[in-house]
Amino acid sequence: MALKIACAQPEIIAGRPDLNTQKILQIIKQAAQSGADILFLPELAVPGYLLGDLWEQTSFLEDCETYGRQIINATADLDLCVVFGNIALDRSKVNEDGRMRKYNAAFAAYKGKALGNGALPYNFIVKHSLPNYREFDDSRYFYSLAQLAAELGTTPAQLTKPVQIQLKGTNINLGIMLCEDGWTDNYHFNVPQALANSGADILCNLSCSPFTLNKNAKRHRLFAAQAKAAALPLVYCNNTGIQNNGKNIFTYDGCSCVYNADGTLMAEAPAYSEEILYTNFDAETKQIAGTPAPLPAMEKTENIYQAIRYGVQKFLQQLGITKMVVGLSGGIDSAVTAALYTDILGAQNVLLVNMPGRYNAELTKNMALQTAQALKTNYMVVPIAESAEYTRTQITATPVTSFANGTEFNLNVSPYVMENIQARDRGARVLAGLAAAFGGAFSCNSNKTEITVGYATFYGDICGLVAPIGDLWKHEVYELGHYLNDKVFKREVIPAEIFAMRPSAELSPEQTVGTGGDPLVYPYHDKLFALFVESWHKASPAGILRHYADGTLPQLLGCQPELIAETFKDTASFIADLERWWKLFCGLSVAKRIQAPPIISISRRAYGYDHREAQLTPYFSLEYQKLKNELLKK
Amino acid sequence: MALKIACAQPEIIAGRPDLNTQKILQIIKQAAQSGADILFLPELAVPGYLLGDLWEQTSFLEDCETYGRQIINATADLDLCVVFGNIALDRSKVNEDGRMRKYNAAFAAYKGKALGNGALPYNFIVKHSLPNYREFDDSRYFYSLAQLAAELGTTPAQLTKPVQIQLKGTNINLGIMLCEDGWTDNYHFNVPQALANSGADILCNLSCSPFTLNKNAKRHRLFAAQAKAAALPLVYCNNTGIQNNGKNIFTYDGCSCVYNADGTLMAEAPAYSEEILYTNFDAETKQIAGTPAPLPAMEKTENIYQAIRYGVQKFLQQLGITKMVVGLSGGIDSAVTAALYTDILGAQNVLLVNMPGRYNAELTKNMALQTAQALKTNYMVVPIAESAEYTRTQITATPVTSFANGTEFNLNVSPYVMENIQARDRGARVLAGLAAAFGGAFSCNSNKTEITVGYATFYGDICGLVAPIGDLWKHEVYELGHYLNDKVFKREVIPAEIFAMRPSAELSPEQTVGTGGDPLVYPYHDKLFALFVESWHKASPAGILRHYADGTLPQLLGCQPELIAETFKDTASFIADLERWWKLFCGLSVAKRIQAPPIISISRRAYGYDHREAQLTPYFSLEYQKLKNELLKK
């Protein structure tokens, strides 16, 4: 008996059960017309997932319930089983915070009814494994199957059974799990195994799983092995769209797919596309019919480009913003950002602004002009030397009265203070003013390397609506720049000189393209900072020094062996550099990130609520201090 | 057999196990010298609690373990049992995120050894109830006793036993729990009851519990009842200091105390003071000796003042900031903020700045001057009319080139855009520049009412180092103003006229003290907005409209019955107002909060990671739409 399986990956809008339900009802119609027998929809397809504490608002929850019933009712006159994710409420119980009991649930609807699995006291399936890492706060909102089992005095295994349904005269056991239930590595109860053991004919995983670089490859390995171990096909259903937690904007690539009982990837939906994936399931042999049709793999920068483009585009659409202003310094970060917005919004909706101050070179001014010309955007030059000077004079010439003793005094503006005055003049004065006058918003062009150590000025350059390249290391910004030239625009919109010159903030006589650039040696610091924030067990100065001492640091960083020796003349300067950036990473840069714009998040750890931070004082561990002393004594 | 119990509430510094251990070792010495038999120290006294994802850094965790051993070793030659909170590691297991197994644990150390309870496979006690609401993310970092029990195939009850110890020849069973273990309302396993049932002689709760308005009263009710139900004394041990999660700065008031077996409050440590509380416990009668000595209760505004003053002071100390600049508009928010900093830092370290623009009245300018004179601070007047005009001219006079077609055009600056240009000129240009020149930071003067609806300008007034009154509703700002005059300065540092005049942003001809003030009717909107964010089940427009329709809204809000009728001429204007602010609350104001400074958090729900938010599109529920239609049809 062949059953036609439909797997949809709609664009889900967080917090809009009305719009999501509308879309789901359309998909149900479409799947029914295509003769599908089972339709899978993603986890929390009705409410969306990243809602913040909107999960606490009863009236919102009740609407999700109502819309869920509409979806169940829509199956009344069809011969289609619809499996979808929604919030489920139990008003007779509370969560551990005392609020209404909420489950992250899967509903299997057929002939107008939601089917249970016979083991749970509900007509829905309850998520067992609640992730509480990175951006996930599941335990904050949902009661888990593990908690429910404990409450009922039973075990998760007793409650984990497939949902039985008769389709075309055949009994099918649907082994339904929700997202993290499939990521079995670190939970002592294995949901897919339990479903297979209790007679599932097919496994399905409803997910709401954001794009992360390299995550799909890991998922393919994991779920293929899972299908193979269970000797059952596995349908992976994930939504598209964007969702955010305030600080992080995540893209959802969907990439729904179907694995056969031997783990073969049989079919895959394209990333960020709302299409429905159809496959045929033979209920007798428990096999997916046909020949495998995986999609070609994408290379890293293509993946990054696709995610950032989709993320920025959808975010601007959500906010109703159609025009953007970008400060264009003549450097790589702003050029890449400008090219991205031009690609997304069209050149006529982008205003690029070069804001030369006292220390900007002709070279970078020309680069800015050339970039704008190549992109065919709107362009203006707004000098800031005069206004920065005005601020300096106003601060230093206006007398301060001390009412304690009736005296007057004047303030000084140091060269360092003047650097930040210029940066803020550009951001909060010019760009913010221009954005409002142009009828749009302005962009934050900061990259992850700068954000790591706060190499940016409050209300100067680390401000704006959104940071499109805020999760890219400097070398990835260059890679994306080449990709934009070669593959997107297919011409040199970012001039070759921009790739060639040494980056510089151009805020002081010492800090120019000609005389000296950023204090960061990007090939080294990019990798070092990635260890700080992206490594699984969070590297610390102690570990880095240990590797430095035994000569394995280049391996750990994945950089050229000679780079470290070339960059640091001796151990003392290596240590001084490490401490300088570590203190900034733990100190002032945290304060800057707290007030930074949201970041399009693509890495396995993006700044924001993905990587949570308190403002602490820098701490050097006992091992670090010991190692440092030993090394400096040598 | 009388045992002397010491309960310490040290100032714990998050992320500094070195400094915390130093302090704990001193306290141990002190308690031993005082002849104490048992010393209680707070939850996570070694690492601190709000560390963000520093909990993932192995080298930090290992240092905490090492320092914990130092504390245990310090008991070797004493006749003192030390009970303290620390992180506990089990390298043979992992958390559900795959990282090293971590428990939020209590150690009972005696004669150089950590004693277990005989039921757990460890020599420490494991926290059962992990809070995952408000600012708490316990499940993100710690494995609970409930999870451990499931993993071991047993129940929490089997693992919950007192720690037995022989002191002065008597066996004492210490019933040790950690913070949330005592907040038993919504957990299906009751830790204190289980401890009492398994033979505890005394209960103790080690906490790391931040100050929240009215929380102590609730705790007294709960824990007194708990002691009474168990017929056992209960020692509540909580730390002092501040800790933050980035967006929220919480104060820890300690307020450690001891309840007798009948629930009587026997002794209490003063708020925000590091002192050690001593009581005598009769092990035979299981009673605390002596007469009850509770501290006098504090009224609300005193509580608020104390918390904000302590929070700001400690936060500035942590950052090493000794000087502050405050923009002084002549209104209540900036006057209260200025008075607070003067109280905290001393007048000579405060620079108040009046920044009149085109629309500022003589009245408010005089009020600013009078406030600075009364506070005896440093003061300057930095006009912004000229600089704002400069920006307007630069924006409108600089031609924009369209490289799409080679044409040029000019931008316009609308009056609304001009309002924000002025605000940003004050914040990001003048105050930020002055702060750097003065050698300090500048303050954010926003209150909770404004923050709720984003009645503030990005990089203008919702910026700065920290928002001292960001968790106060407008009426609470007035109350604090009176308190500062009456109780702190004991003279009129905030002029009476400031309390009397109608608040206004003074950014346009329509928006002046004379012609019209803020669009907020504070006595009404303060209460309405509190429902949005502070009510337990998060009010929604539907609920508010329901109460409006049946005439119970004044009761719900706690405002004068006639206020609503006086404020809104009809139902349509009530609804228009509600929708206006609700859309801002769910929309643009979220974007502003994402980039807002950290807030000194004192309410039961402060903006930041206490109240988590995604940027969503405003949603009106089905019930709301139905009610609205019905009401408007009438």
Judge: B540–A57 Cβ closer than 8 Å, yes or no: yes
Dist. CA B245–CA A612, nearest whole Å: 8
Residues A305-351: tens digit of each pLDDT: 999 999 999 999 999 999 999 999 999 999 999 999 999 999 999 99
Contact state of A543 with B59 under an 8 Å Cβ cutoff: yes
**Cβ–Cβ below 8 Å for A348 and B404:** yes
Q: Please give the residue of chain B at the shortest CA–CA distance from A435.
A: B417
Within 8 A by CB and 6+ apart from B117, the residues are B125, B159, B160, B161, B162, B163, B164
Residues of chain B positioned with their CB less than 8 A from the CB of A394: 382, 387, 430
Cβ contact A246–B18 (<8 Å)? no
Of B378, B421, B615, the CB nearest to A433: B421
Q: In a mutagenesis test of the B interface, which of A57, A137, A377, A416 is the best target, namely the one with the most B β-carbons within 10 Å? A: A57
Contact B430 A187 (CB under 8 A): no
Note whether B533 and B440 are within 8 A (CB). Answer: no
Asked if B391 and A429 come within 8 Å (Cβ–Cβ), the reply is yes
- Judge whether A484 and A469 are in contact, CB under 8 Å: no
pLDDT (0 to 100) of residue B362: 94
* Residue B518: pLDDT band with limits 50, 70, 90: confident
With CB atoms and an 8 Å threshold, state whether B377 touches A617. no
Which of A44, A10, A240, A244 has its CA nearest to residue B617?
Answer: A244
Q: Which residues of B touch A378 (CB under 8 A)?
A: 400-404
- Secondary structure in 3-state letters for B549-591: HCCCHHHHHCCCHHHHHHHCCCHHHHHHHHHHHHHHHHCHHHH
Contacts with A433 from chain B: Cβ below 8 Å: 391, 395, 413, 417, 420-421, 424
pLDDT in tens, B344-401: 999 999 999 999 999 999 999 999 999 999 999 999 999 999 999 999 999 999 999 9
Residue of A nearest to B54 (CA): A613
Q: pLDDT at residue B15 above 80?
A: yes
Spatial CA neighbour of B64 closest among B47, B49, B51, B83: B47
pLDDT band at B269 (very low <50, low <70, confident <90, very high): very high
Average pLDDT value for residue range B235-247: 98
Please check whether residue B349 touches A, CB under 8 A.
no
Kindly state whether A585 is in contact with chain B, defined as any CB-CB distance less than 8 angstroms.
no
- Contact check, Cβ <8 Å, B538/A57: yes
Q: Does B529 touch chain A (CB under 8 A)?
A: no
* Nearest chain B residue to A155, by CA: B150
pLDDT at B513: 64
Q: Search chain B and give the residue with CA nearest A413.
A: B437
Say whether A395 and B433 touch across the interface (CB within 8 A).
Answer: yes
- Chain B residues inside the 8 Å CB shell of A536: 56, 98-99
For B109, the token pair is 């150390």
Among the ranges given (A529-543, B224-238, B440-454), the one the predictor scored with the smallest mean pLDDT: A529-543
CA–CA dist B299, B301 (Å, integer) = 6
Encoding tokens for residue B437? 């020149």
**Which pLDDT belongs to residue B502?**
85
Q: Do B614 and A50 touch (CB under 8 A)?
A: yes
CA separation for the pair A441, A81 (Å, rounded): 45
pLDDT digits (tens, 9 = 90+) for B246-258: 999 999 999 999 9
Q: Minimal Cα distance from B147: which residue of A?
A: A146
B516 has a pLDDT exceeding 70: no
pLDDT of residue A1: 76
Query: Taking 90 as the threshold, does the pLDDT of residue B514 lie above it?
Result: no
- State the smallest CA–CA distance between residue B588 and chain A in angstroms: 9
CB contact under 8 A, B96 and A131: yes
Interface subset of B 4-23, CB within 8 angstroms of A? 13-18
Q: Which residue among B140, B375, B398 places its CB closest to the CB of A133?
A: B140
pTM beyond cutoff 0.95 = yes
ipTM: 0.96
Angle at A610 between CA B137 and CA A620, to 5 degrees: 80
B380 and A401: CB-CB below 8 Å?
yes
Helices (H), A320-361: 332-345
Cα B634 from Cα B619, distance rounded (Å): 24
DSSP symbols for B83-140? EEEEEEEEEEEE-TTSSEEEEEEEEEEETTEEE--SSSSSSSEE------STT--HHH
Interface membership of A379 toward B (CB under 8 Å): yes
Q: What is the pLDDT of residue B512?
A: 66
pLDDT of A515: 59
Smallest CA–CA distance from B61 into chain A, residue: A621
Residue B505 confidence (pLDDT): 80
Helices A474-483 and A332-345 meet at what angle, rounded to 10?
Answer: 50
Structure token digits, residue A105: 């649930």
- Asked if A395 reaches chain B (Cβ–Cβ under 8 Å), the answer is yes
What does the pLDDT read at residue A516?
65
Per-window interface: A 54-73 vs B, CB < 8 A = 54, 56-60, 62-63, 66
Which of A595, A611, A617, A624 has the highest number of chain B CBs within 10 A, making it the mutation to test binding with B?
A: A595
| Distance of residue A36 Cα from the nearest chain B Cα, in angstroms | 31
Of A16, A351, A373, the CB nearest to B619: A16
Question: Cβ contacts (< 8 Å) between A135 and chain B: which residues?
Answer: none
Q: Helices A474-483 and A300-319: crossing angle, nearest 10°?
A: 90
Token pair for residue A152?
A: 């009922």
Average pLDDT, chain B: 96
Residues of A in contact with B68 (CB under 8 A): none
For residue B441, the chain A residues in CB contact (below 8 A) are none
For position B504, what pLDDT does the model report? 82
> Is the CB of B594 less than 8 angstroms away from the CB of A594?
no
State the pLDDT confidence band at B425, using cuts at 50, 70 and 90: very high
Cβ-Cβ contacts under 8 Å between A and B: the total is: 371
Give the confidence band of B614 by pLDDT, cuts at 50, 70, 90. Answer: very high
Residues of chain A with pLDDT under 70: 511-516
pLDDT of residue A512: 66
**pLDDT score of B587:** 94
Q: In what order do the strands lie in the sheet with A240-244?
A: A240-244, A248-253, A599-601
SS3 B317: helix
Helices (H), A332-454: 332-345, 362-375, 385-397, 415-424, 432-438, 448-453
Strands (DSSP E) along A411-519, which ranges?
441-442
B535–chain A nearest CA distance, Å: 10
**Structure confidence at residue B386 (pLDDT):** 98
pLDDT digits (tens, 9 = 90+) for B552-567: 999 999 998 899 999 9
